[in-house]
Amino acid sequence: MDMDRKITCIPGLESLLRRRDLHGACRLEEVENPMMQFYLSETSAMSRASALILNTFQELEAPTISRLGSLFPKIYTIGPLHAFLKSHIKDSSPSISSDGSLWQQDISCMAWLDSQPSKSVIYVSFGSVGKLTRDQMMEFWYGLVNSGKNFLWVTRSISIDEEEGVGQTPVELVEGTKERGCMVGWAPQEEVLAHRAIGGFLTHSGWNSTLESISAGVPMICWPRIADQQVNSRCVSDLWRIGLDMKDTCDRLIVEKMVRDLMEEKREEIMRSVDEISVMARESN
């Protein structure tokens, strides 16, 4: 099957998405499949809502929001949600992160960032639920080290499949990381993305991470895996043009090239779009 074939029947996203970008539930062959039935039921239930509250902003997804406006009586766009919460809940506890994460943040990375030149660091995080095989981690690690760029990588131990999390780390990766890298279990992502040293974000394209990166004015390299991540990645690379899409690949040479493209070769072009959309995001709240 040609997974790059365009899908032309999605209102508001005509001819943007490919087969590979669709949610897994849309790839099922039988309508009677329990997962398909669940999504159909939930979608149908939405028609009974008095209004929709969406974590987005008008300027980012105007065609889709307009289409939804013809189906629902009221639509409220309150995104980016993390910025909305900060501006509207002044008395919230500082110990509660707006990203809802339960992981303990390692703030030592902020001191490391303070010592790095402006826009010189690629931040790497694949979210709180994704897992990497050891082979995948090695490909990303080699790609980051070989790119010659500074990197901050969130590598919480349980993100690697336990049965594959063994083996000796090659000396060139150890030395390369000592020279240009910082690896932590979990990081205060909003603060990291807002830091002057961050020049790019290698991400799984989760929606919260995407909006946080947009708000901070940081371009992205997208490596989507599940759920809405494929659609988000496609929008980042081809619709908004604020990043690069790795598609389904995990190869050290591609990682190296993408990092260099984002931080050097294609940076000026991408940053024009990033700066424009980032201003819209901040003004939406």
pLDDT score, position 189 = 95
Query: Is a pLDDT exceeding 50 seen at residue 96?
Result: no
pLDDT score, position 43 = 84
How big is the CA angle at 117 (ends 141 and 271), to the nearest 5 degrees? 80
Query: Is a pLDDT exceeding 50 seen at residue 95?
Result: no
Give strand pairing partners of 122.
151, 200
When mean pLDDT is compared over 26-40, 69-83, 253-267, the highest value belongs to 253-267
Q: Summarize the confidence of residues 78-89 as an average pLDDT.
A: 86
Round to whole Å and give the CA distance between 155 and 125: 7
- Given a contact cutoff of 8 angstroms between Cβ atoms, the answer to whether 255 and 144 are in contact is yes
Give strand pairing partners of 154.
184
Q: Summarize the confidence of residues 172-195 as an average pLDDT.
A: 96
Give strand pairing partners of 182.
152
Name the residue type at position 67: R
Nearest Cα neighbor of 54 from 36, 69, 32, 35 is 69
pLDDT band, very low/low/confident/very high, at 165 (cuts 50, 70, 90): very low
Round to whole Å and give the CA distance between 78 and 222: 24
pTM: 0.89
Which residue is listed with tokens 């001819």? 15
> Structural domains in the chain?
108-284 (3.40.50.2000)
Query: Is a pLDDT exceeding 80 seen at residue 176?
Result: yes
Round to whole Å and give the CA distance between 41 and 39: 5
pLDDT score, position 19 = 82
27-31, 102-106, 128-132, 254-258: segment of lowest average pLDDT: 27-31
Round to whole Å and give the CA distance between 282 and 134: 38
Taking residue 241's Cβ as centre, other Cβ atoms within 10 Å add up to: 17
Which residue is listed with tokens 């336990």? 162
pLDDT band, very low/low/confident/very high, at 231 (cuts 50, 70, 90): very high
pLDDT score, position 132 = 87
